[in-house]
């Protein structure tokens, strides 16, 4: 093995351990953050007894789950019952390996270690564990594997509540995966690349006007809604609906097997928020400056901090919505996915393709800011039409409207 390859492997291992550690500790702290956010929104005290301001509460919960008795349903398929949490947990953690979390770090070293030999590296180090060329296609593909663990947990538990939760989760995740994938095709049209680092670079012009949230606002909206559905968060938590299914697919799970599902859920939330930040909000780009592209340790650390703040903001939004909106009915959930999200994503792909052709080829506009503003105008018109139709109740109708329609039908029959 060449010294250069050894250097690459050494850096990859350091990044892997660092990212994995941050994700595991961050997921534990997110459980505390969610409880604090919900307490703040409901005007009550959250966890505040274990450690200063409750900071040790996640550690106490972890110790409790480790020490709890492992229970197994008598009629469950024991092997699949044990495998299911891992099938849900592993893909969730894999996704953090492909997210670029900071600007590349210029680094040069040539060291020789006892028994290990010589390690050499020259040039910038991408701040991503695996800079895969397929980018967000990898994220969509691997995230879809989590549904196998959830469906298997529901089936292997040999419980009707768990089975119904697993079936709901499978139907929901498959329905919204299609819309999520198609919502990213306009991003491909704008950037001309699926590599996440390249997508961030295309948004770096020193102005937030070129962040893709403006020229591709409807893509951002579809991706965000589909992300809520993919992570089984309110208002899309039908697979866990406590009032109907007790706890859904993990009803029969206890101790650390139960914790694996929650770690996977919060890891998926982090991944969705990282993807929103990377694809639509410039990733680690610092607005109104080109300093972040100058190279060096300080710019890399600053871009990492900016990226983390953007991700934390979207994590807060996810928690905010959970404690604000009620749960959808299941027919509303499926209607939104198949009758609204999919047709909207397909139509939007065609609109963006035509708009880009007219702006860049016909009008001859090449300035990124001008192109972004032109597409933002198109998105503004589309947003008024789309949200107006959604608010009209034409596609998703509440129970009160359905009751009025039934009364009108009965009155017509009686008349």
pTM of this structure: 0.87
Handedness of CA 109, 102, 55, 13 (dihedral sign): negative
User: d(Cα 161, Cα 168) in Å, to the nearest integer?
Assistant: 11
pLDDT score at 147: 83
User: d(Cα 357, Cα 359) in Å, to the nearest integer?
Assistant: 6
User: d(Cα 157, Cα 163) in Å, to the nearest integer?
Assistant: 8
Which residue in the block uniquely carries the two structure tokens 């509540």?
161
User: d(Cα 8, Cα 123) in Å, to the nearest integer?
Assistant: 11
User: d(Cα 320, Cα 228) in Å, to the nearest integer?
Assistant: 12
Question: Using one digit for the tens of pLDDT, what is the confidence trace for 159-214?
Answer: 888 888 888 888 888 888 888 989 999 999 998 888 898 899 888 887 888 899 99
**What is the residue-wise DSSP string for 188-229?**
HHHHS---HHHHHHHT-SSSGGGSTTTTTHHHHHHHHHHHHH
Q: What's the whole-number mean pLDDT along residues 345-349?
A: 93
Burial 253-263 (b: 16+ CB within 10 A, else e): beeebbbbbbb
Question: Using one digit for the tens of pLDDT, what is the confidence trace for 135-147?
Answer: 888 888 888 888 8
Question: Using one digit for the tens of pLDDT, what is the confidence trace for 301-344?
Answer: 999 999 999 999 999 999 998 888 877 777 888 888 888 889 99
User: d(Cα 92, Cα 232) in Å, to the nearest integer?
Assistant: 13
pLDDT score at 413: 59
Question: Using one digit for the tens of pLDDT, what is the confidence trace for 73-124?
Answer: 777 788 888 888 888 888 888 888 889 999 888 888 888 888 778 888 888 8
pLDDT score at 402: 61
Helix (H) or strand (E) holding 378: helix 368-391
pLDDT for residue 396 is more than 70: no
Tokens found for residue 168: 């709901």
User: d(Cα 300, Cα 307) in Å, to the nearest integer?
Assistant: 11
**What is the residue-wise DSSP string for 298-363?**
HHHHHHHHHHHHHHHHHHHHHHHHHTTSPPPPHHHHHHIIIIIIHHHHHHHHHHHHHHHIIIIIIS
Tokens found for residue 294: 């100058």
Question: Domain residues of the chain, as ranges?
Answer: 62-414
Provide the pLDDT confidence category of residue 222 given band limits of 50, 70 and 90.
Answer: very high
């Amino acid at each position: 093995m060449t010294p250069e390859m050894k250097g690459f492997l050494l850096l990859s291992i350091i990044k892997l351990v660092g990212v994995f550690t941050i994700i595991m500790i961050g997921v534990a702290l997110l459980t505390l953050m969610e409880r604090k956010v919900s307490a703040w929104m409901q005007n009550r005290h959250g966890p505040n007894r274990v450690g200063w301001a409750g900071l040790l509460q996640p550690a106490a919960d972890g110790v409790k789950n480790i020490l709890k008795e492992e229970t197994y349903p008598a009629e469950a398929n024991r092997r699949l019952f044990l495998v299911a949490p891992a099938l849900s947990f592993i893909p969730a953690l894999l996704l953090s390996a492909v997210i670029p979390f900071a600007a590349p770090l210029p680094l040069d070293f040539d060291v020789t270690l006892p028994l290990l030999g010589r390690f050499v590296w020259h040039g910038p180090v991408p701040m991503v564990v695996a800079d895969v060329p397929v980018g967000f296609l990898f994220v969509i593909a691997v995230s879809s594997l989590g549904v196998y663990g959830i469906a298997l947990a529901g089936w292997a538990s040999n419980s009707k509540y768990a089975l119904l939760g697993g079936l709901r989760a499978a139907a929901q995740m498959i329905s919204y995966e299609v819309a999520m994938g198609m919502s990213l095709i306009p991003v491909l049209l704008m950037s001309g690349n699926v590599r996440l680092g390249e997508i961030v670079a295309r948004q770096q012009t020193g102005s937030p006007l070129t962040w893709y949230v403006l020229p591709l606002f409807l893509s951002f909206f579809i991706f965000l809604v589909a992300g809520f559905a993919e992570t089984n968060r309110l208002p899309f938590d039908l697979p866990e609906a406590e009032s109907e299914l007790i706890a859904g697919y993990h009803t029969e799970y206890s101790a650390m097997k139960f914790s694996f599902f929650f770690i996977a859920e919060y890891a998926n939330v982090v991944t969705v928020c990282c993807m929103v930040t990377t694809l639509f909000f410039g990733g680690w780009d610092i607005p109104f400056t080109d300093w972040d592209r100058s190279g060096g340790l300080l710019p890399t650390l600053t871009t990492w901090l900016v990226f983390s703040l953007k991700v934390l903001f979207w994590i807060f939004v996810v928690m905010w919505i959970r404690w604000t909106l009620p749960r959808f009915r299941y027919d509303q959930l499926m209607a939104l996915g198949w009758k609204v999200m999919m047709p909207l994503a397909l139509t939007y792909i065609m609109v963006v393709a035509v708009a880009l052709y007219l702006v860049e080829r016909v009008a001859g506009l090449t300035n990124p800011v001008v192109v972004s503003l032109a597409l933002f105008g198109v998105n503004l018109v589309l947003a008024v039409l789309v949200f107006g139709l959604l608010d009209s109740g034409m596609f998703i109708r509440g129970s009160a409207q359905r009751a009025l329609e039934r009364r009108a039908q009965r009155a017509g029959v009686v008349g």
